[in-house]
Amino acid sequence: MKTFDFQPKMISALRNYNRQTFMADLMAGLIVGIVALPLAIAFGIASGVSPEKGIITAIVAGFLISAFGGSKVQIGGPTGAFIVIVAGIINQYGMQGLTIATLMAGVFLIGFGLLRLGTIIKYIPYPIIVGFTSGIAVTIFTTQVKDLLGMQMESVPADFIEKWIAYFQNLQNIDLWSSLVGVVSVVIIAITPKFSRRIPGSLIAIILMTVVVLLLKQYAGITTIETIGDRFSINSQLPDAVVPDLSWETIKGLVAPAMTIAILGAIESLLSATVADGVIGDHHNSNTELIGQGVANIVSPLFGGIPATGAIARTMTNINNGGRTPIAGIVHAAVLLLIFLFLMPLAQYIPMACLAGVLVVVSYGMSGWRSFSALMRNPKSDVTVLLLTFFLTIIFDLTIAIEVGLICACLLFMKRISETTDVKAVYDEIDLNEDADMERGNLEHLTIPTGVEVYEINGPYFFGAGNKFEDLMGGFGDRPKVRIIRMRKVPFIDSTGLHNLENMCLMSQKEGIAVVLSGVNPKVEAVLRRNHFVQLLGEENICNHIDLALARAKEIIE
């Protein structure tokens, strides 16, 4: 029996480690840690938690994902994809509910890895991924409008449509200085890549705008620009690990959001690892990666962290700066830890409008509008799944969007697969000048005797195929004495196909019609024998070629 191979990439990477690789990883980890800082703060605040919780997540989860994951270069931490689901859980269940849901998601992720579901998750339909990713991007942008424009509002509705109605009703309450800070931040982030690839635009924008706002407050007397310190009290002390109180009622209520976190984390981390493989020419272990993600999401919430997963942008930054082993990810976590311990109090001066600008740029990158518009030219079924997932994400929530999207995708998949199986009636003659018949040297046509009906199944025999027999049988006039079913092009048969075939055979026998199977391949025949079709039809009525089946039919008629 094959055992599960759980070997983090850390182990294999250290076997051939050298000084040159270490220096490259050290520099890459330093840069990625600096890049991750503003994102961790922004994602934490946008998710409805304090900024230090975002950094704690990046430290703890970032370390564990690099140490125990299945990719050499994966960088983990909080991501924009979780903002919507985290904020929803906090609103409904509170911070303790989020902690429990994240712990459960970690257990689910480990279960996915142990059950070897890593490769299966990759096959979630592309329209679903684009639909809910674009929906998340629109939702993130919507949540940042208030801070981006400095709107003076007592409260912001949770509903998407109500939120926009409230924004339009409060247009007169926009603060021009905050709006200017937000817009300039977006411009800085957008133009930074044109002159600097190593220093992230988000970091430049935060440093520059923080200094500008301090000067405006100090020398111009402008105090309307809200900063992090105006909304949160910054704590730079490392928290103790706390296990939440678990109750069965709470666990039952959090199964759906926890599963959403797990599926979303699995998709994003494996997508990031796959993209990284294409750049560095490596192959990640998808099941080990899921286990590493699960470990991170079990430990991180114990220290007050939020859900984490592999981050494509930070992973690509790691690769572009020379990171090639998990050491870079560990260094990135260490850099964030040092910043947290010694520089965290300075975060209170960061303008909220600047952080909103960072998240607006993040939401634009997540939107994938080019992929979205390209999918709109695809078949109507794909467009339906895309739009359904997209609108459910922004109008309701991500949990409903993923559930309904997967159900629709499965139904469409079953419909398409059932359409690939064709059941047809053969009239008058059987052409042997094709496929396996040519191998037997039968270059001729066989005439179907009177009183014999021949049907041919092309494709897998499962749901939907058996019902096609009823329509075809009505096309014949008189009731036959023998029905021959050619199954040479049936690669497999499932339980539904077996049930339909058995019902058809029993119905035919009740009408006094013998059934003969022809050309059954060995795998399908083994399944039929295990399900007692030999006793049902008789050994002599299961033939391996059509000429033998016709000869048997003549015997029955005579």
Structure confidence at residue 2 (pLDDT)? 47
Q: Quick one: average pLDDT of 460-474?
A: 65
Q: What is the Cα–Cα distance from 145 to 430, expressed in whole angstroms?
A: 70
Q: Is the dihedral of CA 403, 409, 411, 413 positive or negative?
A: negative
With a cut of 60, say whether residue 258 has pLDDT above it. Answer: yes
Under the banding of pLDDT at 50, 70 and 90, the label for residue 156 is confident
Under the banding of pLDDT at 50, 70 and 90, the label for residue 438 is very low
Q: Quick one: average pLDDT of 118-124?
A: 76
Structure confidence at residue 437 (pLDDT)? 44
pLDDT tens digit sequence for 198-233: 778 888 999 999 999 999 999 999 989 999 999 888
Structure confidence at residue 150 (pLDDT)? 93
Structure confidence at residue 439 (pLDDT)? 46
In sequence order, what E strands does 105-153 have? none
Angle at Cα 530 formed by Cα 528 and Cα 531, nearest 5°? 65
Q: Which of 548, 524, 105 is nearest to 296 (CA)?
A: 105
Under the banding of pLDDT at 50, 70 and 90, the label for residue 436 is very low
Which distant-in-sequence residues (6+ apart) come within 8 Å of 247 by Cβ? none
Q: Is the dihedral of CA 106, 111, 116, 117 positive or negative?
A: negative
Which distant-in-sequence residues (6+ apart) come within 8 Å of 551 by Cβ? none
Q: Quick one: 38 exposed, middle or buried, by C-beta within 10 A (0-12, 13-18, 19+)?
A: buried
Q: What is the Cα–Cα distance from 54 to 340, expressed in whole angstroms?
A: 11
Range of lowest pLDDT (33-42, 217-226, 316-325, 392-401): 392-401
3-state SS, one letter per residue, for 485-508? EEEEECCCECHHHHHHHHHHHHHH
DSSP for 406-437 reads: HHHHHHHHHHHHHHH-EEEEE-SEEE-SSHHH
Under the banding of pLDDT at 50, 70 and 90, the label for residue 332 is very high
DSSP for 529-555 reads: HHTTHHHHH-GGGEESSHHHHHHHHHH
Q: Which of 72, 225, 88, 229 is nearest to 150 (CA)?
A: 225
Query: Packing angle between helix 19-46 and helix 326-342, nearest 10 degrees?
Result: 50
3-state SS, one letter per residue, for 439-455? HCCCCCEEECCCCEEEE
Range of lowest pLDDT (57-61, 234-238, 508-512): 234-238
pTM of the predicted model, to two decimals? 0.77
3-state SS, one letter per residue, for 204-269? HHHHHHHHHHHHHHHHCCCCCCCEHHHHCCCCCCCCCCCCCCCCHHHHHHCHHHHHHHHHHHHHHH
In percent, the amount of the chain with pLDDT more than 90 equals 44
Q: Quick one: average pLDDT of 362-387?
A: 89
Is residue 298 a contact partner of residue 57, using CB atoms and an 8 Å limit?
Answer: no
Instruction: Identify which has the larger pLDDT, 334 or 503.
Output: 334
In percent, the amount of the chain with pLDDT more than 70 equals 91
Q: What is the Cα–Cα distance from 43 to 362, expressed in whole angstroms?
A: 10
Q: DSSP 3-state assignment of 17?
A: coil
Which distant-in-sequence residues (6+ apart) come within 8 Å of 495 by Cβ? none
Instruction: Identify which has the larger pLDDT, 59 or 511.
Output: 59
Residue 465 tokens, joined: 């195929």
With a cut of 90, say whether residue 191 has pLDDT above it. Answer: yes
Q: What residues pair up with 457 in beta bridges, in sequence order?
A: 423
Q: Quick one: average pLDDT of 441-455?
A: 71
Range of lowest pLDDT (101-105, 203-207, 376-380, 470-474): 470-474
Range of lowest pLDDT (328-332, 410-414, 466-470): 466-470
The chain-wide mean pLDDT, for the chain, equals 86
Q: Quick one: average pLDDT of 38-60?
A: 93
Q: Quick one: average pLDDT of 28-53?
A: 92
Structure confidence at residue 1 (pLDDT)? 40
Query: Packing angle between helix 352-367 and helix 201-219, nearest 10 degrees?
Result: 160
Residue ranges of alpha helices (H) inside 150-221 are 160-169, 176-191, 201-219
Structure confidence at residue 441 (pLDDT)? 46
Structure confidence at residue 546 (pLDDT)? 86
Structure confidence at residue 480 (pLDDT)? 85
Is residue 77 a contact partner of residue 332, using CB atoms and an 8 Å limit?
Answer: no
Structure confidence at residue 5 (pLDDT)? 59
pLDDT tens digit sequence for 64-113: 999 999 999 999 999 988 998 898 899 888 999 999 999 999 999 999 99
Structure confidence at residue 21 (pLDDT)? 84
